[in-house]
Amino acid sequence: MTKRAWLALCTIVGVSTLFAGCGSDEATGGDDDEKGGKSGTGGSDTNAGESGTLLGGSSNGGSGGATGGLAPTGGVGGTAAGGPGTGGKATTGGSSSTAVSVGQECINNTSCGDLECLTAEDSGIPQGLCTAGCVADADCPGANDVCLVFDTEEGPAGICLEGCTMGTPTALDAKCHNRPEMACSLLYLITGEACEADADCPGADELCDVDGQCRKPTTACYPQCASDNDCPDAMFCDPESGACGDEEVTGDVDGTPCDGEAVEDSCLGRCATFVDDNDMDIESICVSECTFAAPGQCGWEDESEPAPGICFPRFQEGGEGDQGLCYPLCDCDADCLGEHKCYEYTENPQQFLTSFGHRGICFYPDDTPSLETCE
């Protein structure tokens, strides 16, 4: 499908439903189009990283492989027009009711009723997280909860995450508690089974990670800050891990060509390698992760200014609240980096321009005419 044909599918119905049902034809899934999406999720230890937060583990890189900490999920994203203004650092609410479920935001244990609060300041989780300790899914209070397990010196230990289903939410489905700083993400969680290859794992869809542990695919609500606005004062959003940290993250912006085989990642987000239908490399570029159809995504801190990027679901079946990837916005080819060109949003382009402050989106070139000159 050409860019023009794909963009034509994303009909603008209104600013609140601008991207309902639209998916990217360049990042439709870790299994097909982006290397490393399958095995790079979840943590096998509790390394804290520079920020000292729970989510401050190291990157899984563009080619996958499990790493320390609550590592990034291998691709996430999200941006919506007409969302509520951000207007500076966000403050966290929290209910005093005991009828609190895993996944709600919190500022202290009182906010979580019978559960425990992992505050943003202590854990790095944007807006905090009501959770419970666990070593298996059955230990979590909700039937749909998922246990994210870590290997520690004392043995396995974990926290409960809210389970979710990717796709368009139903009228009764409040996915991830409607939290814009969380994304319904594909996670590959350790099972406790040792392995040397994928075939050694008991499940047909399980994978063997670089540490020799089997991992099973699970969808759960995973932290994904969109900008510094999601973090407490004096903390900064790390677009790679989705966590808030004490140090401002620097690196190459989205769309910058990168080396997918490099030991050290040069990207602000992460370096991802995309492949074609024959599993041949197309390009390696810097990408950031986000929550689809949530406000303020892709670093859009001031919505009175043009948006720097836009979020599309990472998977073709992705819907509102699911993980996605950020793509830079543009007005002409000169705005795009590397070999990318600027492709106009062709369905109701004026509303797109009004909503996001740009005419088009940077993509890898094909036979579709691009915006060669800025107006």
Label each residue of the chain as H, E or C.
Answer: CCHHHHHHHCCCCCHHHCCCCCCCCCCCCCCCCECCCCCCCCECCCCCCCCCCCCCCCCCCCCCCCECCCCCCCCCECCCCCCCCCCCCCCCCCCCCCCCCCCCCCCCHHHHCCCEEECHHHHCCCCCEEECEECCHHHCCCCCCEEEEEEECCEEEEEEECECCCCCCCCCCCHHHHCCCEEEEEEEEEEEEECCCHHHCCCCCCEECCCCEEEEEEEEEEECCCCHHHCCCCCEEECCCCEEECCCCCCECCCCECCCCCCCCCECCEEEEEECCCCCEEEEEEECEEECCCCCCCCCCCCCCCCCEEEEECCCCCCCCEEEEEEEEECCHHHCCCCCEEEECCCCHHHHHHHHCCCEEEECCCCCCCCCCCC
| 183 closest CA partner among 225, 142, 218, 216 | 225
Taking residues 37-57, what's their average pLDDT? 32
> pLDDT-derived band of residue 101, with 50, 70 and 90 as boundaries?
very high
Which range (98-107, 167-176, 228-237) has the least confidence? Answer: 167-176
Tell me the pLDDT tens digit for each residue of 279-333. 899 999 999 999 999 988 998 988 889 999 999 999 888 999 999 999 999 999 9
Tell me the pLDDT tens digit for each residue of 143-161. 999 999 887 888 888 999 9
Instruction: Evaluate whether residue 315 is within a structural domain.
Output: yes
Taking residues 346-352, what's their average pLDDT? 90
Confidence (pLDDT) at 291: 95
Instruction: Evaluate whether residue 373 is within a structural domain.
Output: no
Instruction: Evaluate whether residue 371 is within a structural domain.
Output: no
Instruction: Evaluate whether residue 368 is within a structural domain.
Output: no
CA distance 311 to 41: 20
The proportion of the chain whose per-residue pLDDT surpasses 90, expressed as a percent, equals 57
Q: What total number of domains does the chain contain? A: 1
Instruction: Evaluate whether residue 375 is within a structural domain.
Output: no
Tell me the pLDDT tens digit for each residue of 50-72. 333 344 332 333 323 222 223 22
| Structure token digits, residue 250 | 């620097």
The residue range of the domain holding 44 is: 3-363
Instruction: Evaluate whether residue 283 is within a structural domain.
Output: yes
Instruction: Evaluate whether residue 68 is within a structural domain.
Output: yes
| 41 closest CA partner among 265, 283, 210 | 210
Instruction: Evaluate whether residue 369 is within a structural domain.
Output: no
